[in-house]
Amino acid sequence: MGIWNKLFGGGKKAPPPPALPAAPEPKHLGSEDEAFLAVLVDDLAAGRRRDEVSSPDVLKRIDGVWGSGHERLAIEWMEKLLSVPEVPATATAPLRAQLVERYEQRGELDSAIAHLEGLITDPRYSLRAHYLLAEHARRRGDAERALRHYEAVLGRDVDYPNVRVRVERLRQQVGRAAPVAGETIAAGDVAGITAGARYRLVRELGRGATGVVYLARDMELERDVAVKLLHPHLASTERADQLARFFHEARVMASLRHPNVVAVLDLDEASRRIVMELAAGGTLKDVLRERGPRPLRRAIERHGQVLSALAAAHKRGIVHCDLKPANLMFRRDVDLPGVEVMLGDFGVAHLPDEAGRASASPDQRPKAIEAIGTIAYMSPEQRRGEVSPAADVYASAVVLFENLMARTPWSREVLMSGARKAEDFLLPPEILASAPSVADDIQAHLLRIGDPDPSRRPTTAQALAVSQRLRERLIASS
């Protein structure tokens, strides 16, 4: 069962999307593209070519009809192809996603609702599908439904454009913005609210898949801390497994005891609260946004610290699954001497079994799970639901590239397509010009850890050893 079905269906299997009305027979114009599509429809109806329904050639033919000015006809062909019975949903999903985008371009999203509901369980398209369903509901004045889908988007990508603002406005509109302990509180509305008698919330710092993190004041020890409160929709009695996981993750995180992992200071299951050390220097995401790309030597240094944290986690059988700049934090101002980066938010981590036993060979044994994480940092196999420590190594390549370029390697279009190549991580010469004697080795390391094939990536320990050697050579050459 998909994670979003669990999230919004109360653990019950979601009903299948309503049957679509029979697609109209397209009015032929006699083009070569249409001749191809007509033959394909006949073959599909006869049980042939089922694996070609969303092939690049078919999508190109549809684009040909659309690009010739016959937009309605292109939509009719897509509907006709999707109406052929017994074609697997996984085979039709890319075509269905393209049809949704065509409806959206024409301002006809009403006609795409059934298609969108069919896409929200597909990890390749669920993010976009939830967003468009939220937009549709918002425009129709259905605030509760819009909020439900927007929150699903935030659960997958906390930085999705415009979504956080809309969530906060909708929560106020439906009367769910009251700042109480354990509740998700809109930014700017938490000053002076307590999360239990000991901690006084000051303001929101960020939010992720499982909860919201606040700057808080520890009234007993008179120090600033970070308090993470579980999302209320995950804390009901029906979702006891989510509550148990929330604190199991925190205990595992606390057990790592590593200088590059955020320290857990306190737990309170009754208040659904985790208290952690405060990252006063902000996140790497903040640093890149405010100060731009990092110098080569500093980026390699941080990269080694990230890999060191991952190596400690992987040794315990933990795969983080959501490594990104928003989850990398600094204890103090990033430009001060000796400030280290800390890995936090293990909210969607793949954990060891109940006994805490790591697999015998964690870097080589992928596990099949739901595809979770943030899409821009997910390895190709993680998007398919296959997770091993190699997925975190891949994410470290994206983070290192972003450190040096202040952007990820892909445009949004390429990102959503899922295509990945090692060459995506090629750096421009000017980035490496400051260290010519090490440049080739840095580029080679980045290409190896960013290889789309997990079997060709180094293990976490191997990547860490290379990063340490690169750092030493950079120091020696400066």
Residue 233 backbone phi and psi in degrees, to 5 = -75, -5
Catalytic residue among 157, 322, 345, 451: 322
SS3 call for 337? coil
Question: What stretches of 316-388 show up as alpha helix (H) in DSSP?
Answer: 380-383
- What are the distances in angstroms from CA 246 to CA 159, 174, 267, 387, 393? 22, 27, 10, 20, 24
Q: Are 324 and 395 in contact (CB under 8 A)?
A: yes
SS3 call for 264? strand
Question: What stretches of 29-162 show up as alpha helix (H) in DSSP?
Answer: 32-45, 56-67, 71-82, 89-105, 113-119, 126-139, 143-156
Amino acid at the residue 357: R
Q: Is 452 exposed, middle or buried (0-12, 13-18, 19+ CB in 10 A)?
A: middle
What is the gyration radius of the CA atoms in the chain, in angstroms?
Answer: 24
- What are the distances in angstroms from CA 315 to CA 119, 352, 424, 432? 36, 10, 29, 32
Residue 322: active-site member: yes
Q: Is 354 exposed, middle or buried (0-12, 13-18, 19+ CB in 10 A)?
A: exposed
The two three-digit tokens of residue 120, written as one number = 């929200």
Q: Are 442 and 470 in contact (CB under 8 A)?
A: yes
Largest alpha-carbon pair distance within the chain?
Answer: 79
Q: Is 301 exposed, middle or buried (0-12, 13-18, 19+ CB in 10 A)?
A: buried
Distance CA 221, CA 370 (A): 41
Q: What is the DSSP string of 211-228?
A: EEEEEEEETTTTEEEEEE
Q: Please tell me what DSSP assigns to residue 172.
A: H
Q: Are 313 and 320 in contact (CB under 8 A)?
A: yes
Question: What stretches of 321-459 show up as alpha helix (H) in DSSP?
Answer: 380-383, 389-405, 412-417, 429-432, 436-449
Amino acid at the residue 125: Y
Q: Are 318 and 356 in contact (CB under 8 A)?
A: no
Where in the sequence numbering do the catalytic residues fall?
A: 322
